[in-house]
Structure 1
Amino acid sequence: MVDSNQIVSFDILKGGGILLVILGHIQIPYMLKTVIYSFHMPLFFFVSGCFFRPISLREFFAKKTRQLLIPWAFFAFLLFAYLFVLKLNETHNWAKAISLPVTSMFDGFLGDENSFILFHVIWFLICLFEVSFVYLLIHKITPYNKALTISALCILLYGVGYWLNANNIDLPYFIDTTMSTLIYYHLGFCFMRNKWYGMKVSPIYSLFLLIIAIVFIVLFPSYVDLKSNNFPLHLLLLSMVFIMNFYWFINSYFNSRKLKLIPLDKILIWCGINSLALLGLHILFVDTFWIVRNKLHLVNYSWTILEFALIVAICYFATTLIKRYIPSVLGRS
């Protein structure tokens, strides 16, 4: 049984992760972006796997449609409207303004990962739906107590995904990425099943391993784009070292303070609880700020902190309004 301390730790883990997602989408130094991209999306597959439980297919489709597909459709609609407004402002022609969003939608249905609307940042929701479904099927066709068999299947699918990327084979709707990220979902499940979440790990030891992981990522930089299934093999180990020790560091930190929250903790917890909303909303404001900065020639990194703070603040107010009036589009009943 996971106690309230661990739940808060997972919320903070997700909160830190989603803030890094936002930071990774604005103008920051290349090396910082490389470090962030090396673990930020695997973190969310891992955390999702932590809370996996076998359910019926009927319950699965009802639950995941509410939690993932409806939010995905809502954010896709927002991206459609946003692109339409941009093009209308640019062309002053309704026909041209509507044609690009529609074309982008059909590109997405045909499997084009460059589709602005269907597969922008919300690709993760589609991929997580697929990962959850495949993992549920594996559990149903494999005896529950044969953890080794399940692990072997996840490793095999990871190998297939890696081979597809190495041979530049791109499958539609992130099926190749699903194969590659399934192992993170499985490791999250193992993390909870084996009660590693409750391990007493020294915060100094966790911090040391976090720094070591970052150093190796910096020493061996690689192009990373998990959406396109481009995730080098060595980052599988490094990202897991980072994610697990990040969690243990957070958990030790809270155990030492007995859940006495400070303002930063509350911000991270809120971001973790509302990470789905932040994922879907932030890119609208990121793209808007990018347009504004280009027009005003604000290319200096000194503007990045202000931009980041403003985006998070705007997302906070937007999320609060959506939760109040249309909570169902965020997967809430």
Structure 2
Amino acid sequence: MQDRDRLEWVDVARGVGIIAVVAGHVWTTGALREAVYSFHMPLFFILSGYLSRPQPPLQFTLRQLSGQMRPYAAFLAVLVLADQIIETARGKVPIFHNWPQDILPILLGGTWLRGPFTIFWFVPCLTMSRILFNCLLVRWGDPLGRRWFHAAMACLVLAYCIGGVTRDSPLGLLTVPMAVVLLWAGAVWRRIKWGNWIWLPLVPLSLCGLAHLFPALNMKAADYGWPLLSLASAIATSLLLFRFSQLSAPVGAPLAALGRASLVIMYLHVAFIHYLTPYLGKMWLALIALFVPFLLWQVIRRCPPARRIFL
């Protein structure tokens, strides 16, 4: 597969994933919500692991912190300011209204951010997970090695134990152990050649999650459903969607376009849902939450000063 084709299917997969994320925040109850929550956030971690390559740890760490946490801080600041304006105009109290005391929860992020900010746990968690994963990848090499298996099992035990003790998650870091497992799963998948036999285990596992036979995952809250089973279902659905993305890449340009804008959509979609819910039906909310941030991404990427800050 040529690099251009590979990148196209990756963007298609991101597009599918971001549509699922938006749907999960619009339809907050019912079968659709359970189906989406069975895989939507694991998909992004697995895809990131699939794309991982060992890189010099210090340079990679600095690049990740600069490239990911700068847009994180910029979008968070914009939304905090927007909340002050919008809620005041509606005659309501802004989410953060006790200054300067509210500076601390804003800095803590993760579970201290709610309402229009609820998705902001994801990027710090992904960033720190990728930094840790890269350090291990440089040190241990091939993800199929025995040390990787032992490390993944240790991370799994740690993830389930921590999730059973607390839900407090500064910057989403509570989820890092499970995120490392998913990154490893993606790296392993890259080394497995697709064969018809793979459908046999993946399809039943995926259907069990999509049909809510296994409990869904809420990664932000470190709630991973049934031990191993819910996780296996999330991985299975993600891998099947990757295969779909590979096969549909030649005609998947609209999905790929959404995939390229996925980070901006990730940051902004919940705000549109949060503020417009009293006034619009769910389908309109979903369309606006998906396509208005997409249009804003188009504007940002064409404006060099905005691109340097937000992308």
TM-score, length-scaled by structure 1: 0.81
Secondary structure of 2:277's counterpart equals helix
Question: Deviation string for 1:170-226 (max 9, x for gaps)?
Answer: 45333331011211101111222x1x3x52559xx8599547623444242535321
Select the structure of larger CA radius of gyration: 1
Secondary structure of 1:292's counterpart equals coil
Q: Which amino acid aligns with 2:302?
A: R
1:310 matched to 2:310: no
| Preserved CA contact (<8 Å) 1:24 1:33 | yes
Cα RMSD (Å):
3.0
Whole-angstrom CA distance in 1 between matches of 2:222 and 2:275: 27
Query: Structure 1 residue 2: deviation in Å?
Result: 5.3
| Preserved CA contact (<8 Å) 1:79 1:116 | no
Q: Which amino acid aligns with 1:137?
A: C
Structure 2 CA distance for partners of 1:85 and 1:211, relative to 1, 3 Å: farther
Secondary structure of 1:99's counterpart equals coil
Structure 2 match to 1:76: 76
Whole-angstrom CA distance in 1 between matches of 2:169 and 2:209: 30
Secondary structure of 1:58's counterpart equals helix
Structure 1: gaps of 5 or more residues? 294-302
Structure 2: gaps of 5 or more residues? none
Whole-angstrom CA distance in 2 between matches of 1:314 and 1:327: 17
Query: Structure 1 residue 148: deviation in Å?
Result: 1.6
Name segments (4+ residues, structure 1) moved above 4 Å. 90-93, 100-104, 143-146, 205-212
- From 239, 244, 250, the equivalent of 1:244 is 239
| Preserved CA contact (<8 Å) 1:130 1:178 | yes
Structure 2 match to 1:127: 125
Structure 2 CA distance for partners of 1:141 and 1:24, relative to 1, 3 Å: same
| Preserved CA contact (<8 Å) 2:39 2:234 | yes
- The answer to which of 121-130 and 144-153 deviates more is 144-153
1:328 matched to 2:308: yes
Structure 2 match to 1:296: none
Q: Which amino acid aligns with 1:71?
A: P
Whole-angstrom CA distance in 1 between matches of 2:42 and 2:130: 14
| Preserved CA contact (<8 Å) 1:88 1:97 | no
Whole-angstrom CA distance in 2 between matches of 1:309 and 1:240: 27
1:64 matched to 2:60: no
TM-score, length-scaled by structure 2: 0.86
State how many pairs are aligned: 307
Structure 1 match to 2:297: 319
Structure 2 CA distance for partners of 1:73 and 1:190, relative to 1, 3 Å: same
- From 204, 207, 213, the equivalent of 1:214 is 207
Structure 2 CA distance for partners of 1:166 and 1:128, relative to 1, 3 Å: same
- From 151, 154, 175, the equivalent of 2:152 is 154
